[in-house]
Chain A
Amino acid sequence: MEFGSIVFLLRFLPIFIAFYYVVPGRMKSFILLLGSLCFYAWRVPIYVVLLLATAVSDYCHGLLIEKYKGKRTAGIILGNALFFDSALLLFFGYADFLIGAINAVTGLEISKFDFPIPLGLTIFIFQSMSYVIDVFRGNVEAQRNLISYAAFVTMFPQMPGGPIVCYRDVEQTLRIPKPELHQISGGAKRFCIGLAKKVLLADLAGELWMGVESLGVSSLSMGTAWLGVFAFAFRMYYAYSGLADMAIGIGMCLGFSLPESFRYPFAASSVTDFLHRWNMSLVIWVKEYVFRGNVPGRLFGAFLAWSLMGLWYGPDGTFLLWGVWLAVFYVLETIFWKRVQKALPFVVNWLLTMLVISVGWVFFALNDMESVKIYLYALFGQGAAGLMDDHFWYLLSEYFPVMSLGIVFALPQLSMLIRCLREGRSGLSMALYRFGEKTVPAILLLLSLLKIVGE
C-alpha cells in the first residue's frame, strides 16, 4: 500500500485514524500494532511473520539484557540480538546482491533466491537494534509490554521511507499515546505537504528523468544531461522527503514526535554538510549506534559508513558507488579541503558542492559504468549531441513549471518567508499566515488527490 494510493488515503487512513481516536489510551498501541500489520500485510503478507519475529526476538533480548545488566552475559545476549537482526537484514535484503557479487568475482553460478525485499526492512531492523543497544547501555528500561514494543517495531508511518525512529524517542508516548490538538493539526498539514511533494513533484520530476533516460545516454547534449541530473535529484529528494514528511505527519496525528529526515540538502555548502542534511535520521543512527565508543580509525570508519549509506536505497552496486563517491569527498574535505573552503565565498562552495552531488546522482541513476562514463562526458559538454539540442529545449519547455517549483521548494528561502509571516507582529502577516496554513495544505491535498485519481 503506497501512501499516494486511493486505498491508503481514502480507505485505510480514515478507518485507522477513526479507530485510533475512538479507543481509550491504553488500547491505542494495540490499534497501532493492528493497523501496522494490516498495512504491512498488504503487499506480501508472509513478511508479517518476519516483522513479528524481529519484534519478539528483540523484546525477549531486551528483557534478558536488563536481567543480566552489568554482567558479561548481557553483552553476549546483545551480541546474539544484533547477530540475529543483522542476519535477517543480510539474508532478506542483500543475499541476492552478495551472491551476484560473488558470482561476478569468482565466476561461480550460485543461484539467487529472487524473493522480494520486505518493505522497510532496514528501517525496522535498525529501530529494533537501537532498542537493544539502548537497553544494554542503560539509556532506556526494557519494555515489558510486548504489544507496545511490537507497535514500535512495526509502526507503519515510517516503513515506506523513514525516518528511523529510536526507541527512546517514543518510549514515553508508547505507554499511553495521547495526541494533542495542535499535534494533530500540525500533523495534518505536514502530511498534505509530504503527499504533494511525493505525488506532484517527485513523480513529475521522475517523468522528466525517464524522458531523458529514454533518449539513451549516447545521444544526450550537455543541456539534456544536466536537465536529467536535476530531474533525478528532485525525484529522489521529493520522493524520500515527501515520504518522511507524511510519516512525521501521521506520527504527529498519532501523538508521536518522529525525527526529521531531510533539512534542505540542496542548500549545503559542502559534501559533509550535504551528508548531514540528507537522510538525517540514518546519519544520527549511524553516529549513535555505530560510532559511539572507541572506533579504531575514525576516518576510515566514517568512510565505510558513508559508502554503505548507498545500500540503504537498495541492494545495487550503483547505489554503493554513489555512497563511495560522496564518502571520498567527505574524507577529502575532512583532511584538507575544509581549510580551503573557509577562504572561498559561500556561492563558490555551494556551486562546487552541487557539482559533486550532481555527478554523484549519475552513479546512482545509471545501471552500468559504461553508461555512467558516457553520461559524464555529456554532462561536461563532450556528448554526441553538443551543448544544447532540440531534446533539451523540448523537455525544458514541457517541464519548466515542475522544475521551477522543484528549485523553489528545495531551498530554504520559502520556509524563511513563512517563518517571517508566522512570527511577524503585524496584522497582515498574521492574517496571511493563518489564511495560508489552512488553505495551502487543503489545496495541496486536493491537487494530489486529483492527480492520484485522475491518472
Chain B
Amino acid sequence: MSEKKNDLFTIAIVAAILMIFSTTDLLTKLGILEKDNITEPELELSLSKDDLWNGRFFEKYEEWEQETFFNRTKWSEIVRNTRLTLGRRELNGIYLGKRGRYFEKHAGEDYPLNVMERALDDLKEISEERNALIMLIPTSDEVWKEDLPGYADSFDQSAFLGRVRDTVGEEAFIDLYASLKAHEGERLYYSTDPHWTSLGAYYGYLIWRRQAGNKLPVYYDPGKLVSVKEDFVGKYAEKTGLEMQEESILTFGETYRRSLSVLVDGEESPEEFYHDEKLDSAEPLEYFLGNDFRVAEITTGRDRKESLVVIGDSYANSMLPLLAPHYRKIYVIYAESFGADWKRALGMFEGREDLEYLLLQSVPDYLELYRQ
C-alpha cells in the first residue's frame, strides 16, 4: 500500500468511528432511529445570568447529552463488564462478594473517631435516662465478612459494638452480633439488598426477648415463613447495573391479621404491618411499614400495660410485627428524619411511666446520623 493510501486508510477508520457514533446518536435523538427503552431525562436549560457565568448552563447540556446517548445501557454494560474482567470487585460502592452475595461498602474511614464518640455519648444518655435497650444491628458485611472480596475495606462493626457494650453496660446492650454470627449459615440478609430478612429479625427478636426479660412467650415458627414475593431483586442491582439472582421476601404468617391501628405522622395508614401494594413498586421492602415518616403510632389491639418506643430505621420495620404482641402501643421514631437531633423527638413522651425504649437500627445507619 502506498504512503498516500495508507494515510487515507488511517484517516478513514478514525473518521468513520467518530461519524458512526455521532450520526447514530443524532438520529436517535431526532427520533429517526429507535431509542432503547430507558426513560430519558428532559433537557431543562434555563439561560440565567448565573448559569452562564459559572458555566452551569453548558454543563447541564453536556450531562443531558451523556445521559441520553444512544444505547447508553449497552455501553454502560460493556464498560462494567470490562472492569469486572480486569479484576474489579467493587462497583459504585457495592462489593461483589463470594457465593453470589453483594455488600454495601462501609469503609473504616467513613466513621472517624469524633463521629463514634458523639454516637456513643447519645447511647449512654438514652440508656441512663430512659433505661433504653440498645440493639444495633450489624450489617451483612460484618456477619458474612468471609464472603467479602479479599482485603476489602470494611468498617469493624463488632469492635464498635464492643465499645457500645462498654459504654452502656451489659444491662442495656443487646449482643446481636454474637446471635447472628451463630446463625451465619442461614439466610439472615438479602443477597441483593443491605437489609436483614425476617429470619434475621427473628433471631434479633429472640435475643431481645431474652434481654428484655419478663415477656410473655410468643412463638414464631421460622420453619413456616410465608413467601410474599418470589422475584425480589434489591437495590444493589440498580446501583451496580448487574443482573442479579432473584430472591424471595418472607414473613411470619403468625404476624398477619392482627387488629391494628397505624397512624403515620398522625394520619391513618392501612391497618396492617404489611403493605401489599408496595411489593410491586420500586421499593418492595417498603412492604414493611416504609421509611417516609417521622413518627408512627401502632395500636396493637393487645391488652397490655406497656407501650414501646422504638428509635429505628428501615431495618427495624421487619422486627416490629414480632414485637407487637408484647405491647399495647408501639411508637416508631424514624431517626433519619431527625438526624443527630433524634433525641428531640423523645420530648413527646416526657412524663410517661408506661413506656419502654428500644434503639433498633443498623450500625451504619445509626452512625450515619452523626456524619450529616
Contact = CB atoms under 8 A, between A and B. Distances in A.
Contacts of B14: 188-189, 191-192, 441-442, 445
B17 A442 contact: yes
A375 B244 CA distance: 40
Given A181-B8, A442-B14, A449 B21 contact: yes
B214 interface: no
A70 interface: no
B185 interface: no
A246 to B, nearest CB: 13
Nearest to A391: B153
A144 interface: no
Contacts of B25: 6, 10
Interface string B2-43: 011011111101110111011001000000000000000000
Contact of B76 (A216, A402, A449, A454): A454
Contacts of A191: 14
A393 B150 contact: yes
A44 B53 contact: yes
Given A184-B7, A398-B88, A400-B87, A43 B107 contact: no
Could you say which interface size class chain B belongs to?
35 or more
Q: Which of A219, A394, A449, A452 has the most CB of B within 10 A?
A: A394
A185 B11 contact: yes
Contact of B17 (A46, A185, A445): A445
A1 interface: yes
B52 A45 contact: yes
Contacts of A453: 21, 66, 69, 72, 75
B268 interface: no
Contact of B150 (A46, A181, A184, A394): A394
Contacts of A45: 52
B91 to A, nearest CB: 11
A434 B109 contact: no
A8 to B, nearest CB: 9
A274 B78 CA distance: 38
Nearest to B85: A401
A438 interface: yes
A137 interface: no
B216 interface: no
B151 A390 contact: yes
B338 interface: no
A294 interface: no
Nearest to A119: B55
A14 interface: yes
Given A181-B4, A445-B17, A451-B79, A215 B10 contact: no
Interface residues of A, number: 51
A116 B4 CA distance: 46
A106 interface: no
B152 interface: yes
A445 B22 CA distance: 13
B78 A450 contact: yes
Nearest to B152: A394
B7 A181 contact: yes
Contact of B62 (A7, A392, A402): A7
B69 A9 contact: no
Interface string A78-96: 0000000000000000000
The B contact surface, by secondary structure, is helix
Contacts of B62: 1, 5-7
Interface in B42-95: 52-55, 58, 61-62, 65-66, 69, 72, 75-80, 82, 86-90
A438 B9 contact: yes
B270 interface: no
Nearest to A10: B22
A454 B72 contact: yes
A148 B144 CA distance: 68
A398 B90 contact: yes
A6 B65 contact: yes
Contacts of A391: 151, 153
B58 A434 contact: no
A242 B330 CA distance: 62
B1 interface: yes
Interface string B93-114: 0000000000000011100100
Contact of B11 (A14, A188, A398): A188
B194 interface: no
A42 interface: yes
B75 A454 contact: yes
A172 interface: no
A305 interface: no
B149 interface: yes
A182 B7 contact: yes
A9 B7 CA distance: 21
B71 to A, nearest CB: 9
B277 to A, nearest CB: 36
Interface in A165-217: 181-182, 184-185, 188-189, 191-192, 214-216
Interface in A71-116: 116
A397 interface: yes
Contacts of B4: 181
A185 B76 contact: no
Nearest to B54: A116
B13 A390 contact: no
A70 to B, nearest CB: 46
Minimum-distance CB pairs A-B, first 10: A454-B79, A185-B7, A454-B75, A394-B151, A10-B22, A390-B151, A393-B151, A188-B14, A43-B55, A454-B76
24 contacts: A5-B66, A6-B62, A7-B58, A7-B65, A10-B21, A14-B18, A14-B19, A14-B22, A42-B58, A43-B55, A43-B58, A44-B52, A185-B11, A216-B109, A390-B152, A390-B153, A393-B150, A393-B151, A400-B87, A437-B6, A441-B13, A449-B21, A453-B21, A455-B76
